[in-house]
Amino acid sequence: MLSGRRLDLLDPSPMDIEIEDIAHGLARVARWNGQTLGEHAFSVAQHSVVVEEICAHIDPTLDPKWRLAALLHDASEYVIGDMISPFKAALGYDYRLFEDRLESAIHIRFGLPARTPVAVKKLIKVADRACAFFEATQLAGFGRDEALALFDAPPDGYILHIDPLPAALAQVRYVERFHLLSEAAGFGAKTHAHDTE
């Protein structure tokens, strides 16, 4: 990692995970494998910020720690990339186990439970699919009906116009959102690179 950390992908340690590495990687990973309109790719970092926002729109009382979990829902992709769902399914159980292990280490590093509660996971999935609807129709060339057949309709009252950001700006916004949510959740002391557990 650019921070100097060395992450063992088969046995990831929470102590080798830094938010700056996550943000840097996610800001440079393109959703839809880069097959989108516009000068810039729509990054996983920018997508993650939108998903957290949609979660808060659906449930305005959502605890900040679960909003943080929503922001981090794709954090493992900073080292494994954004693999499309059909390919993940084709790879099978071993891939899911690998991804889950990395996600658990990320959660522990930032003060979250290793496993997200089922109800929160479902909410994040709904928001993730709603964001995918906007991406599909605004960036990836899908018609509305086709996108509705594949993804969830946006929640009532939520409107999004996507303007894909340059990687550097997407990275900054992701880190800013992370720190805001971490502080709100009371996890601020665990988020800095120089801290130790």
Measured CA to CA, the distance from residue 126 to residue 121 in angstroms comes to 9
Per-residue pLDDT of the chain (197 residues; tens, 9 = 90+): 887 788 887 788 899 999 999 999 999 999 999 999 999 999 999 999 999 999 999 999 999 999 999 999 999 999 887 666 666 666 665 767 888 899 999 999 999 999 999 999 999 999 999 999 999 999 999 999 999 999 988 999 999 999 999 999 999 999 999 999 999 999 875 444 444 43
- Distance CA(165)–CA(173), nearest Å, equals 10
Which residues have a Cβ under 8 Å from the Cβ of 129 and sit 6 or more positions away?
151, 152
Residue extents of the structural domains in the chain: 17-128+166-188
- Which CATH code for domain 17-128+166-188? 1.10.3210.10
pTM above 0.95, yes or no: no
d(CA 154, CA 157): 8
Question: Angle at CA 117, nearest 5°, toward 113 and 121?
Answer: 110
